[in-house]
């Protein structure tokens, strides 16, 4: 199949920032891209060849869009899987496969998948409704503290809450959910595994994630993670085992906890480019976005080694600001060595909305982390 400067069409479900960054590389390769997205304001609109308006959860919209492309991929998991399954039956190549997405879309199914495949994860209970949790606690079947997670549609701090008392259960939506043991951990780590159609696999170096205490969003991604080689090897092995269990095609970001006694437990996975891999654009030989394209088109995978230490800072909307976005002090951070801002193109900001990221590269990782802190304290995402 000739993908380059040809009639081949790559379809992407979702028009957000991950799609926009995938398009950096489809542009580089001159691959014709079609986007399906519900918002006319989507970041992808300026960079794709064809922009189609439609609801990613609507069967007809996804099915009709899929019929017009040769290979279909995603930049967000919340898509209509029934439509993908029918497209696969009709010979459209869908990566990741509908089967993989069906498991990953539901956190309860995802956790059961780890148990079935002997993959290490924190103990949990599943509930059809949040309201059942209270009774289970009263009967001694569950103890505080635990982490409540909505089974579906939770991401970036939504649909997740640490529950320490009955008070914390108030106001949670009454939906299918899991209650997961609260794991005392030293580090949150992530490994991105790339796997192409032929089964060739490569892993990116382990990263460490520092979280914002209130927003439950990643503040810094640090690569390489500041962990021992032994722990890094363990994390990599578990990520590869997870990838083999899913037999996914594309990227699989495996988020993990490093416990107090250096055990590795899987937190959750994402079958697409991931926030923990944004730094690869500047700091690795092959970015995660280029690698995703290579994997789903069954091209040889690129080298994943880091060229230099990298730290990524998420740019999120400041609290108390909603409306037309203004990036305050962006020129100041651009004076700093090794600093590259990526602005996603969302015109409206609101508190904690992901609006961009900044990568800091430096041969000394501790220096990169210091500059990252300076960047974070300098640039502000506010409104007019």
Hey, what are 353's tokens? 């909305």
180 is in an annotated binding site: yes
At 281 the three-state DSSP class reads helix
Both tokens of 296, joined, read 């789903």
Would you say 107 is a known binding-site residue?
yes
Dihedral over Cα of 119, 121, 124, 128: its sign:
negative
- What is the distance between the alpha carbons of residues 35 and 14, in angstroms, rounded to a whole number? 7
134 appears as a binding residue in the annotation: no
- Write phi, then psi, for 309 (nearest 5 degrees): -65, 140
Three-class SS state of 17:
helix
Spatial distance between the Cα atoms of 305 and 86, rounded to a whole number of angstroms: 38
Helix axes 107-116, 98-105, angle to 10 degrees: 110
Residue 268 annotated as binding site: yes
Q: Is 183 annotated as a binding residue?
A: yes
Q: Which residues neighbour 370 within 8 Å (Cβ) at sequence distance 6 or greater?
A: none
Residue 354 annotated as part of some ligand binding site: no
CB 189 within 8 A of CB 225: yes
Binding site membership: which residues?
107, 149, 180-183, 188, 267-268
Binding site membership for ATP: which residues?
107, 149, 180-183, 188, 267-268
């Amino acid at each position: 199949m000739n993908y380059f400067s040809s009639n081949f069409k790559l379809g992407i479900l979702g028009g957000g920032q991950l799609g926009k960054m995938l398009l950096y590389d489809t542009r580089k390769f001159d691959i014709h891209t079609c986007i399906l997205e519900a918002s006319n304001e989507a970041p992808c609109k300026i960079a794709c060849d064809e922009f189609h308006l439609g609801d990613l959860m609507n069967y007809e919209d996804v099915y009709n869009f899929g019929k017009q492309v040769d290979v279909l991929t995603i930049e967000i998991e919340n898509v209509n899987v029934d439509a993908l399954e029918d497209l696969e039956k009709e010979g459209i190549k869908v990566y990741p496969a509908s089967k993989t997405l069906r498991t990953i879309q539901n956190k309860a199914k995802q956790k059961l998948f780890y148990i079935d495949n002997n993959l290490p994860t924190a103990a949990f209970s599943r509930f059809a409704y949040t309201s059942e949790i209270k009774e289970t606690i009263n009967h001694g079947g569950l103890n505080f503290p635990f982490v409540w997670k909505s089974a579906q549609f939770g991401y970036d701090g939504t649909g997740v809450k640490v529950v320490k008392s009955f008070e914390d259960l108030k106001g949670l939506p009454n939906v299918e959910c899991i209650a997961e043991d609260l794991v005392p951990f030293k580090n949150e780590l992530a490994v991105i595994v790339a796997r192409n159609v032929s089964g060739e696999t490569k892993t990116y170096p382990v990263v460490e994630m520092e979280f914002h205490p209130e927003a439950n969003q990643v503040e810094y991604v640090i690569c390489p993670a500041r962990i021992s080689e032994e722990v890094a090897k363990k994390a990599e092995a578990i990520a590869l085992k997870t990838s083999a269990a899913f037999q996914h095609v594309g990227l699989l970001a495996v988020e993990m906890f490093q416990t107090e006694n250096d055990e590795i437990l899987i937190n959750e996975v994402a079958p697409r480019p991931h926030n923990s891999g944004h730094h690869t654009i500047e700091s690795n030989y092959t970015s995660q976005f280029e690698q995703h394209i290579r994997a789903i088109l069954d091209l040889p995978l690129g080298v994943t080694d880091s060229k230099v230490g990298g730290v990524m800072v998420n740019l999120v909307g400041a609290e108390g600001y909603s409306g037309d976005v203004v990036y305050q002090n962006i020129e100041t951070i651009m004076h700093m060595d090794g600093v590259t801002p990526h602005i996603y193109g969302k015109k409206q900001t609101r508190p904690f909305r992901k609006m961009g990221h900044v990568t800091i590269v430096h041969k000394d990782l501790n220096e990169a982390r210091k500059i990252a802190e300076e960047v974070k304290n300098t640039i502000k995402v506010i409104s007019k």
